[in-house]
């Protein structure tokens, strides 16, 4: 990603731009609340957006859009990585099947209906009902959060001594 592009939390003044970009891309226009978004900015202009929707029982990555002149430069990937860094729990997403390998690079794996939770599960079921009508195959993906790092205290000198004596 070029150095002149910054990823930052969205501000209230970005709300109209976010809505315009998401709707122009034909993405899910629901839950477009600016505090959930990160934006990519170049020279004071928003050129990319993405969010995590905080549904009860599940968090969904979505609304990832980069303006056409700025695509294939790593901007979308930078937004996804920054969104993931902020998460502590499992993260879900719904996308066209052709995007599976893109999201796999971030640790997302295809998920079945049993793996999904809450609103994400309902949205997936709705997408499956209308698959033939829209001629788009939507898949669900899940990124399992890494287990929390356990801090192991350094063993006391007595413990180290006993280990060394027992080896000999």
**Residue ranges per domain, the chain?**
5-167
CATH class entry, domain 5-167:
alpha beta
pLDDT at 127: 86
pLDDT at 28: 87
Task: State if pTM tops 0.75.
Answer: yes
> With helix as H, strand as E and coil as C, how does the chain read?
CCCCEEEEECCHHHHHHHHHHHHHCCCCCCCCCHHHEEEEEECCEEEEEEEEEEECCEEEEEEEEECHHHCCCCHHHHHHHHHHHCCCCCEEEEEEHHHHHHHHCCCCEEECHHHCCHHHHHHHHHHHHCHHHHCCCEEEEEECCCCCCCCCCCCCHHHHHHHHHHHC
pLDDT in tens, the chain (168 residues): 556 899 999 999 999 999 999 999 998 898 999 999 999 999 999 999 999 999 988 999 999 999 999 999 999 999 999 999 999 899 999 999 999 999 999 999 999 999 999 999 989 888 888 776 777 789 999 999 876 555 555 444 444 433 344 444
């Amino acid at each position: 990603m070029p150095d002149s592009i910054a990823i930052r939390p969205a501000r209230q003044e970005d709300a109209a731009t976010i809505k315009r970009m998401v709707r122009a891309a034909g993405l899910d226009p629901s839950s477009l609340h600016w505090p959930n978004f990160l934006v990519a900015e170049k020279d004071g202009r928003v050129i990319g957006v993405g969010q995590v929707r905080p549904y009860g029982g599940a968090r969904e990555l979505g609304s990832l859009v980069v303006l056409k002149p700025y695509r294939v430069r790593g901007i979308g990937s930078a937004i996804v990585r920054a969104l993931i860094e902020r998460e502590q729990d499992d993260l879900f997403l719904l996308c066209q099947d052709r995007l599976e390998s893109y999201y796999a690079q971030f640790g997302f794996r295809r998920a079945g209906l049993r793996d999904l939770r809450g609103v994400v599960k309902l949205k997936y079921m709705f997408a499956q009902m209308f698959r033939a009508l829209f001629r788009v195959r939507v898949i669900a993906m899940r990124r399992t959060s890494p287990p929390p790092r356990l801090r192991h205290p350094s063993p006391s000198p007595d413990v180290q001594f006993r280990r060394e004596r027992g080896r000999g």
